[in-house]
Structure 1
Amino acid sequence: MGSVKAELLRLWKWPATWVLIGVWLVMTLTFGYVFNYLALNGGTNTRSMSQQQLISAMQPENVGAAVVRGLPMFGGAIILVLAALAIGSGYGWGTWKTTLTAGPRRVSAMAGTLGALGIVVVLLVALTFVVNLGASITVASLEGWDWSLPGLGVFQALGASLLIAAMWTAFGVFLGVVTKGPALAVGLGLMWAIVTENLLRGVGSLLGPVESLTRVLPGGSAGNLAGAVGGSGAPGVLTDLSGTTAALFLVGYVVFFVGAATLLKVRRDLV
């Protein structure tokens, strides 16, 4: 617990944490509400979404879908960057070297970082939900719509959001440990989350085995889980797998990334 508290304090005072959180909140509000609201009120090109679809996307009862639909690609990339920076920066600053020579409890430093990142991710998803709910209520009130608060189904969407965010966090931790630095870890993570999987999906339209593979890759599994809980209408959201199958793949990725990162750190950095 002492390691978790120390890491939380570091992340709390670290400007990068707040910059990334701010960027994500601005993105989710802009693409989820600002653009849709402008399209609904005087937009000149609404062929991709009907007026009723725009209204439905901004209704408070659908805020769970608004939270989860941005996480498979752009939100996930931001979370990955935060995790990669949190782990990789310790190598550049030399703090891992100091921590890992601090005695028999040195391995707990890794657990402390993972615990702190887990708390940050939970708070980030909760904050995203609150911000989106406030935006949706504001839009519904301005437009005079009949609206209601989200039902119990919102917890399914929030649970899916947490699992997707956990997978991207674990991926970022893994890259930070493998590369032993923040810059390369961030670059590789962004390239994978935003570029590589999308290119593979393009190739998949020509090669069936590649298409099948993309469905179960980290981003594909996240997109399928988002699609299964109603988060359609955003880049990276898919409907090729059932929600249960996608969730199992994501759990497997979390276990693999965290386990591999921990094993590598113990075998390599403690020698």
Structure 2
Amino acid sequence: MNPAHVVDVTRAQLFAMVRRPAAWTIVAAMIVLNQVFSFLIPYLSYRSSDPSGFDAGSTPAELLEGTLPAQIVTNTLGGFPVFAGALALAFGAVVLGSEYGWGTFKTIVTQRPSRLSVLAGQMLAVVTFLAATVAVLFVLSGATSTAIALAEGESAALPGFGHLAAGYVGGVLVLTAWAGIGAALSVALRSVALPVGLGVVWALGIENLVSAMARTMLSALEPLRDVLPGVNAGSLVAALTPDRIGSPAPGVAETVSGTQAVTTLLVYVVLAAGLAAWFNQRRDVA
């Protein structure tokens, strides 16, 4: 694997990625979900003094406090374990799997870069794009929460730099793990639709089912639950947002420790990259 070739592939992939409607559709979906559920609905509930439709356990004052800049990490990362994670999985599958659907993979690997260089460049481009997306989400959350604070005469003070940095890195790790799973599935199955379908069903359905069963009726499933990607993503977000106000977002729960969550998500990133490389090297280009 030639580092210069990896850099060239990364640049080429980013060039193509920013011109693909699918990439921007996924980013737009993340932004809309974040703004609507973290700010718009809570703020409208506060203004109407009727939180029963959104968070019946919170008072209007708590709803307002939950939209202020001090809660920027909580509001930005709240949807990452489930909804943004599923979108990141789809993004990883789209970026790598589309080369098989378009028939361009065999054209790429018959040129100078090796298969591993191509794969490494594609994965690095995915991580770079997601890191930029997380930064955009933090900036937009800061802008919206600051506007609410100024409109309501509340404090616009942001959390400390350390808290923001930890939240940013944690968010990138969560989305990278999900995107890596999508990328590995797309390389293994050489398609986009099936990996996206399987991943979304897993993220939104099967994980919730396993977690519910382990919590209520079948404790033998707890070891399995504790290594699931969504459970560890939710545990990491919970560890990064100990001062959150009101009910946690779906999927955010302190099931395992923050350290275990980070370790498990890193293992998923490494395993996803390893499996993608294995299938990439051993599959026919046809």
Which of 234, 240, 253 is residue 255 of structure 2 equivalent to? 240
**Partner AA of 1:223 in structure 2:** G
The answer to whether the aligner puts 1:181 opposite 2:181 as a matched pair is no
Of the three residues 78, 81, 84, the one matched with 2:87 is 78
Following TM superposition, where does structure 1 have runs of at least 4 consecutive aligned residues deviating by more than 6 angstroms?
none
Residue 202 of structure 2, aligned match among 192, 197, 200: 192
Q: In structure 1, what is the Cα distance between the partners aligned to 2:69 and 2:284?
A: 48
Of the structure 1 ranges 44-53 and 14-23, higher mean CA displacement relative to structure 2 is found in 44-53
SS at match of 1:13: coil
Q: What one-letter code is carried by the residue in structure 2 that aligns with 1:98? A: T
Task: Give the C-alpha shift of residue 175 in structure 1.
Answer: 1.1
Runs of 5+ in structure 1 lacking a partner?
none
Offset from partner CA, 1:241-270 (integer Å, 9 cap, x none): 111111001111110111111111112236
1:161 match: secondary structure: helix
Residue of 44, 47, 52 corresponding to 1:41: 47
Structure 1 distance, partners of 2:149, 2:284, is 54
- Deviation at residue 166 of structure 1 after TM alignment: 1.1
- Scaled by the length of structure 1, the TM-score of the pair is 0.95
Alignment of 1:108-127 (within 5 A): 108-127=117-136
Map of 2:4 onto structure 1: none
Give the C-alpha shift of residue 142 in structure 1. 1.0
Matches within 5 A, 1:181-220: 181-204=191-214, 205-220=216-231
Find 2:35's aligned residue among 29, 38, 48: 29
Identity percentage of aligned residues: 33
Deviation readout 1:97-135 (Å, 9 max, x if unpaired): 111222463431111111110110110000000010011
Q: Unaligned stretches of 5+ in structure 2? A: 1-6
Amino acid of the structure 1 residue aligned with 2:263: L
Partner of 1:12: 18
Q: State the one-letter code of the partner of 1:41.
A: R
Structure 2 CA distance for partners of 1:145 and 1:176, relative to 1, 3 Å: same
Distance 1:248 1:43 in 2: 42
Separation in 2 of the partners of 1:110 and 1:230? 34
CA distance in 2, matches of 1:21, 1:88: 18
Counterpart pick for 1:228 among 216, 239, 243: 239
What is the SS of the residue equivalent to 1:216?
coil
Q: For 1:172-211, what per-residue CA distance to the aligned partner results, in whole angstroms no more than 9, with x for missing partners?
A: 1111111110110110111111111011122222100213
Q: How many residues align?
A: 271
**Distance (Å, rounded) in 2 between the aligned partners of 1:42 and 1:72:** 29
Structure 1 pair 48–212 and aligned structure 2 pair: CA distance change class (3 A): farther
Q: Using the alignment, how far apart are the partners of 2:227 and 2:106 within structure 1?
A: 36
